[in-house]
């Protein structure tokens, strides 16, 4: 069997050389593996959805640029924290950063309008609405960065240590929520405690808060189901996110790499929304089955009473945004129209 044995490795070597040569020939000019290295900062812990979408984007960009770009990801606020994300990317402390726009309500006025109580039903719809809204208005707030994609959470609900079945139950309850949701919780009579998601596990553990108001995937991803045994379904508002890149770093990228990244904007928004919607389902299945969480549905009359308390929010936003010179009514109408379209 000696001669046979020898032929095999030869054939494999030839095949390998052919594959390598073809890969090399098919590579875009300038695409030397790993020659461009980018840092990507994120504020919450690695298992949460903003970091899951970051890893997916990294994998896809590395693949679609044939390895010319390599991306180093920094979850858990190890490079930039929740509120320093935008300025950190502008200053070049990270090349790319993911931020929750709701954490700075006054800074991202146009895009934060998606978190008004306008009935966006899920994250996929929210993400596509937000991305279109951004492209139409090209808000000044992003003029110093290159926006790579945007997406939203699924609607927010109440997760709590004791049951919330009525407005009476929520009076004075210390609940954590960030950004624009502050006025929602206040309108319902809760005592809103503001902090980014990244600070919430500790606040719950120390008893600083009795629960939180957010989308339900964190019941599993951050194990909140272990302490919050009640979920009250309000399906109230979504939260918008943006992925931004340092402008000089963007301008320095070869055009073929820019094209790969730009072509991924809408796709990444939709992927993340779809992932989020499915993951909320998985998270709640786990919470009910494994953690014996009680899911409380408000009956129609109660839900109406809760919703009515929030009506002033959109009116107030329109008045304030108009005073600042934004086409506020048009923005709200666009969100409603796009929601119908994508739903
Ligand atoms: N609802 C916002 C945003 C948010 C929802 N899920 C996550 C997970 C990780 C970070 C942020 C978020 C909030 O409550 O902060």
Q: Is the CB of 197 under 6 A from ligand 1?
A: yes
Banded model confidence at residue 6, pLDDT cuts 50, 70, 90: very low
Q: What is the pLDDT at residue 3? A: 44
Tens-digit pLDDT profile for residues 97-134? 999 999 998 999 999 999 999 999 999 999 999 999 99
Q: Would the pTM of this model clear 0.85, i.e. be above it?
A: yes
- Residue 238 burial (10 A CB sphere; 0-12, 13-18, 19+): buried
Tell how strand 69-74 and strand 96-100 pair up.
unpaired
Pocket mutation for ligand 1, best pick of 43, 100, 216, 228 (most atoms within 8 Å of C-beta): 100
Query: What 3-state class would DSSP assign to 233?
Result: strand
Question: Distance, CA 197 to ligand 1 centroid (Å)?
Answer: 5
CB 268 within 8 A of CB 122: no
The encoded tokens of residue 172 equal 């004075």
Q: Return the closest-CA partner of residue 255 out of 126, 111, 65, 89.
A: 65
Banded model confidence at residue 180, pLDDT cuts 50, 70, 90: confident
Helices (H), ranges, 65-199: 85-90, 109-112, 123-137, 167-170, 181-188
Contacts of 336 (CB under 8 A, 6+ apart): 118
Protein residue with its CA nearest to atom 1 in ligand 1 = 214
Question: Distance, CA 216 to ligand 1 centroid (Å)?
Answer: 9
Q: Is the CB of 153 under 6 A from ligand 1?
A: yes
Ligand 1 atom with least separation from CA of 241: 3
Q: What is the pLDDT at residue 16? A: 54
Lowest pLDDT segment from 2-6, 149-153, 225-229: 2-6
Distance separating alpha carbons of residues 303 and 306, to the nearest angstrom: 5
């Amino acid at each position: 069997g000696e001669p046979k044995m020898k032929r095999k490795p030869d054939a494999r070597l030839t095949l390998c050389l052919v594959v390598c040569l073809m890969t090399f020939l098919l590579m875009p000019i300038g695409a030397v593996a790993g020659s461009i290295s980018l840092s990507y900062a994120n504020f919450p812990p690695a298992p949460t959805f903003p970091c899951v979408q970051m890893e997916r984007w990294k994998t896809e960009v590395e693949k679609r640029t044939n390895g010319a770009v390599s991306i180093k990801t920094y979850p858990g606020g190890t490079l930039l924290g929740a509120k320093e994300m935008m300025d950190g990317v502008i200053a070049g402390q990270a090349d790319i950063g993911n931020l929750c726009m709701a954490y700075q309500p006054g800074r991202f006025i146009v895009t934060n309008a998606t978190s008004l109580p306008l009935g966006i039903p899920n994250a996929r719809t929210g993400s596509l609405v937000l991305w279109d809204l951004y492209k139409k208005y090209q808000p000044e707030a992003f003029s110093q960065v290159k926006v790579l994609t945007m997406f939203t959470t699924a609607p927010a609900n109440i997760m709590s240590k004791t049951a919330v079945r009525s407005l009476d139950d929520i009076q004075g309850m210390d609940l954590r929520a960030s950004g624009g949701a502050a006025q929602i919780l206040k309108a319902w009579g809760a005592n809103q405690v503001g902090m980014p998601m990244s600070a919430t596990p500790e606040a719950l553990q120390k008893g600083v808060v009795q629960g939180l108001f957010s989308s339900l995937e964190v019941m599993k991803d951050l194990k909140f189901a272990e302490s919050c045994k009640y979920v009250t379904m309000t399906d109230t508002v979504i939260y918008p996110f943006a992925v931004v890149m340092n402008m000089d770093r963007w301008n320095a990228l070869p055009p073929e790499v820019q094209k790969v990244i730009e072509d991924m904007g809408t796709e990444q928004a939709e992927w993340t929304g779809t992932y989020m919607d499915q993951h909320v389902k998985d998270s709640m299945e786990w919470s009910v089955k494994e953690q014996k969480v009680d899911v409380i549905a408000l009956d129609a009359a109660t839900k109406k009473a809760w919703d009515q308390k929030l009506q002033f929010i959109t009116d107030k936003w329109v008045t304030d945004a108009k005073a600042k010179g934004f086409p506020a009514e048009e923005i709200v109408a666009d969100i409603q129209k796009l929601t119908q379209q994508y739903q």
